[in-house]
Amino acid sequence: MRIDRLTTPQLFAELGLPPEDGHQLEPSPLRFPDGGQYRVEIPSVEGPRCLEAVLSEAERWDVPVARVSQGSGVGLLTDGEIDEMVRLAGAAGVELSLFARPCAGWDASAMARSSGGAFVAASARGQDQLVAVIDEIRRAADLGVRSVLVSDLGVLSVFGQLRERGALPAEMQAKVSVTLPSANPAAARVLERLGANTINLPTDLTLAQVSAIRSTVDIPLDVYVESPDNLGGFVRHYELPRLIDIASPVYAKFGLRNAPDIYPSGGHLDATAVELSRERVRRARVGLDLLCRSGSKAQVSGPGALGLALPAAG
């Protein structure tokens, strides 16, 4: 006997999830606290010299950089280097986000190095490593850092609990890394509920897929406009006007294709890392010029209240 039942799309609607990707590309009503729709982020800013280069080039090219992020991790910077980065970023009004490591890919993990196991590379491998990551986050907080990149679900969960308990500053931000995939609305909702303040989406999502995720979560999305080769190597500047329209509030990230992978970075790679940082800012200028030529009226946002989003007035 056939039993009448809800269709799968109807079930998803009851769960508060979209029944399909956002093919209509509806404009997002959400904004940053200052009313802006997008912020510019420069990734892979690996130390003080790279940050100095980014700030210098931002002034030269008139790029309103709101956030810089780093990938080598808190643990590969000295206290003095972190202090200097905090000071430089603070003076410029730029959000500084450092990666919370260690992770399996830098550990003695055979699976992370296998052809089928690369997906575990960014995870915290075992309880000892989970404790080590949280310890690095606490160290960053003690040194004045208020934003960290998180690449493990367990780390995010513990981070959220510690922040609620007051063991981490209330304003401490969890920026979910692109290496913790959030490729659909349900996954994004889980990350938001665990304490994520911004979510870095996989680099290959279509605008319709991004739109569906935006319809489900309110926190800012981080989206690569240009991604490094090891994350796909996509150059999607031409999509920037529509991306801002549907994903607001969004951090537009300008990575760099055809560039060497410098993780983990250090003094031996300073010259290369600095030049890559400079070029990322120039690439941002190229993207912003295209945005201007498109006729977009999108409002750029300053750092403001880190990570927060508010519904549009009216």
Determine, yes or no, domain membership for 134: yes
Determine, yes or no, domain membership for 20: no
Determine, yes or no, domain membership for 236: yes
Domain count, the chain: 1
Determine, yes or no, domain membership for 14: no
- At residue 304, the pLDDT reads 52
Question: Which is nearest to 106 in space by CA: 78, 129, 88, 79?
Answer: 129
Determine, yes or no, domain membership for 48: yes
What global pTM score does this model have?
0.92
Determine, yes or no, domain membership for 15: no
Question: Which is nearest to 30 in space by CA: 241, 183, 244, 206?
Answer: 244
Determine, yes or no, domain membership for 162: yes
Asked if residue 311 has pLDDT above 90, the reply is: no
Averaged confidence pLDDT in the chain: 93
Per-residue model confidence as pLDDT tens digits over 2-15: 555 888 889 999 99
Q: In terms of residue numbers, what domain contains 61? A: 27-311
Determine, yes or no, domain membership for 82: yes
| Residue 39: CATH number of its domain | 3.20.20.70
Per-residue model confidence as pLDDT tens digits over 42-97: 999 999 999 999 999 999 999 999 999 999 999 999 999 999 999 999 999 999 99
Q: Average pLDDT of 94-111?
A: 93
pLDDT band with cut points at 50, 70 and 90 for residue 118: confident
- At residue 307, the pLDDT reads 40
